[in-house]
Chains A and B, each alone.
Chain A
Amino acid sequence: MRPATRVVPRAILFAFLASCSSDSGQRERDAEAAGSLVHTQRTSTLQAGAPTLAVYSRNPYSGDENAIADGRRLYAWMNCLGCHGELGGGGIGPPLADADWIYGGEDAVIYQSIMQGRPNGMPTYEGKVTPGDAWKIAAFVRTLSADAERDAGQQGPTGQGVLEGPRK
């Protein structure tokens, strides 16, 4: 067994390197591993719900401004805002504007949450929206949390405060 005096500095170095990473996906995974999220203490990489749909691993509308604008409209028309708030602030349902995803924040998982619903209140929208429209809603939902890490007063997923300096 190695002495603690050698392991601890290494761990700190690791944490520092991880915090320097500019890849936001990497940061989210780091955050999950660190269990630093408010609502979920992750103890395994297993995920609640049915297996992720493999149709698209990536949203076909991701980054398409026109589709995102349509998604914003559909988000209101399908009354997503009734539970999740107009700008994803949450209410009856969980907020969508933070970096916290109960079932994972991948495009396909958001799509799956919309189409198949989730326990404790999220209804299924299969048969209520077309698959294309569901992807548009997912694209819009993804933009709600785009700035979550930069919001004032919030801790970044790596545990770093926003005032400690700009990150890429």
Chain B
Amino acid sequence: MTGLQSVLDPAGAGGASIAALWWAMFGMGTLVFLGVVIALFLAVRRREGTELHTRAGDRLDTPDDRRARRFVIGAVAASLAVLLVTFTLSLFTSRATAALAEDGAPEIEVTGIQWWWDIRYLDSDPSRVVRVANELHLPAGRSVRIKLRSRDVIHSFWVPSIAGKLDVMPGRENELWVRATVPGTYRGQCAEFCGLQHAKMSLMVVVHTPADYEKWLAAELQPASPPASALAVTGETVFMRNPCSACHAIRGTDAYGQAGPDLTHLGRRLSLAAGELPNTAANRAAWITAPQEVKPGAHMPDVGLDPTELEALLAYLDGLK
């Protein structure tokens, strides 16, 4: 019942109310199940000689009939009560998950794209907008407004530990308020079938203490560090002269493509290709040389670099901390 991605291991206000509702429903379901089993047992053990009138037109007036009638009425009333209580509980849960709005809360725009998440930390000053990919960083204990958009098809944003699930619709903006409570690393997943790599469209959620969050944001705001070695300088040229720079942005350089993930601080990411691979040097090489084998159908093409270009490019990417 614990884990990175578990409804039953909540680490956020919305997630906690949903987990509480889940346990309440589980408890009630268990009671109902036991009641049904006991009723079944009693029916099987019904005493000999009971006479019930079951044909149409019969008058139901034997003592056994009256007992059966009382039993049925009681069972219907109990079912209604159970449903009513569940309904009321779920209403309160909806209310609790929707009541996280707060003035001056940070705004984050999350865009679902086949098959990754583009995440922008909005700011009234455009030069302070931070763009990351497949990784949502949240301050613990603060409400955050998440604007959900889609660039292509319907996706669904779901980080079970933190909040409920909300569909991401092309052509409109959905709004989800979240409040993470426990610092840690969690995992989210696209929850609406969106094409070939739907199963591999995940995102990592990192909840920081408020001080760490500010530190993280300040670090993300920095432009990319310049290449440190001669090989990395060559790598930067390889990046700029090849299709890499047409789709990927690296702030502080001439690469400003918007079609693919921003790579400014690639080295700090936990994963590659939307949670598909851990972010290691070997996996970066694999993803660049054979994207269609790592994640068939993904929009990352095999650019066809020769080994020396690849070596230089990897040295450059290693330096993007």
**Stretch of A49-57, A104-112, A129-137 at the chain-chain interface:** A129-137
Task: Give min CB distance, B273 to chain A, whole Å.
Answer: 18
Q: Which of B152, B242, B302 contacts A127 (CB 8 A)?
A: B242
Contact B241 A130 (CB under 8 A): no
Interface presence of B259 (CB below 8 A): yes
Q: Which B196-245 residues have a C-beta within 8 angstroms of A? A: 241-243, 245
Contact B247 A130 (CB under 8 A): no
Contact B299 A70 (CB under 8 A): yes
Interface presence of B3 (CB below 8 A): no
Contact A130 B304 (CB under 8 A): yes
Q: Which A122-165 residues have a C-beta within 8 angstroms of B? A: 127-130, 132-133
Residues on A with C-beta less than 8 A from B259 are 77
- Closest 4 A-B residue pairs measured CB to CB? A77-B259, A128-B246, A130-B301, A130-B243
Q: Which of B241, B243, B258 contacts A129 (CB 8 A)?
A: B243
CB nearest to A129 among chain B residues: B243
Residues on A with C-beta less than 8 A from B302 are 130
Task: Give min CB distance, A52 to chain B, whole Å.
Answer: 23
Contact A133 B242 (CB under 8 A): no
- A131, B67: Cα distance in complex, Å: 82
Residues on B with C-beta less than 8 A from A133 are 243, 301
Contact A78 B299 (CB under 8 A): no
20 contacts between A and B (CB under 8 A): A70-B299, A73-B299, A77-B246, A77-B247, A77-B257, A77-B258, A77-B259, A78-B246, A127-B242, A127-B243, A128-B243, A128-B246, A129-B243, A129-B246, A130-B301, A130-B302, A130-B303, A132-B301, A133-B243, A133-B301
Give the interface of A toward B (CB within 8 A): 70, 73, 77-78, 127-130, 132-133
Inter-chain residue pair count (beta carbon < 8 A): 25
Task: Give min CB distance, B192 to chain A, whole Å.
Answer: 19
Q: Which applies to chain B's interface (DSSP): helix, strand, loop or mixed?
A: loop
Residues on B with C-beta less than 8 A from A132 are 301
- A129, B259: Cα distance in complex, Å: 12
B246-279 CB contact bits vs A (8 Å, 1 = yes)? 1100000000011100000000000000000000
Residues on A with C-beta less than 8 A from B246 are 77-78, 128-129
Task: Give min CB distance, B303 to chain A, whole Å.
Answer: 6
Task: Give min CB distance, A70 to chain B, whole Å.
Answer: 7
- A133, B242: Cα distance in complex, Å: 13
Residues on B with C-beta less than 8 A from A128 are 243, 245-246
Residues on A with C-beta less than 8 A from B304 are 130
Task: Give min CB distance, B311 to chain A, whole Å.
Answer: 19
Task: Give min CB distance, A67 to chain B, whole Å.
Answer: 12
Residues on A with C-beta less than 8 A from B301 are 130, 132-133
- A73, B247: Cα distance in complex, Å: 12
CB nearest to B245 among chain A residues: A128
Tell me which of A73, A128, A129 has the highest count of chain B C-beta atoms within 10 A of its own C-beta: A128
- A77, B246: Cα distance in complex, Å: 8
Task: Give min CB distance, A152 to chain B, whole Å.
Answer: 28
Task: Give min CB distance, B63 to chain A, whole Å.
Answer: 73
Task: Give min CB distance, A140 to chain B, whole Å.
Answer: 14
- A130, B288: Cα distance in complex, Å: 13
- A153, B302: Cα distance in complex, Å: 44
- A127, B237: Cα distance in complex, Å: 12
Residues on B with C-beta less than 8 A from A129 are 243, 246
- A137, B251: Cα distance in complex, Å: 27
Tell me which of B152, B245, B246, B302 has the highest count of chain A C-beta atoms within 10 A of its own C-beta: B246
- A71, B304: Cα distance in complex, Å: 19
CB nearest to B152 among chain A residues: A73
Contact A127 B247 (CB under 8 A): no
CB nearest to A131 among chain B residues: B304
Q: Which B50-87 residues have a C-beta within 8 angstroms of A? A: none
Residues on B with C-beta less than 8 A from A70 are 299
- A69, B250: Cα distance in complex, Å: 27
- A128, B245: Cα distance in complex, Å: 7
Residues on A with C-beta less than 8 A from B258 are 77
Residues on B with C-beta less than 8 A from A78 are 246
A77-B246, A77-B258 known, 14 other contacts, Cβ within 8 Å? A73-B299, A77-B257, A78-B246, A127-B241, A127-B243, A128-B243, A128-B245, A128-B246, A129-B246, A130-B301, A130-B302, A130-B304, A132-B301, A133-B243
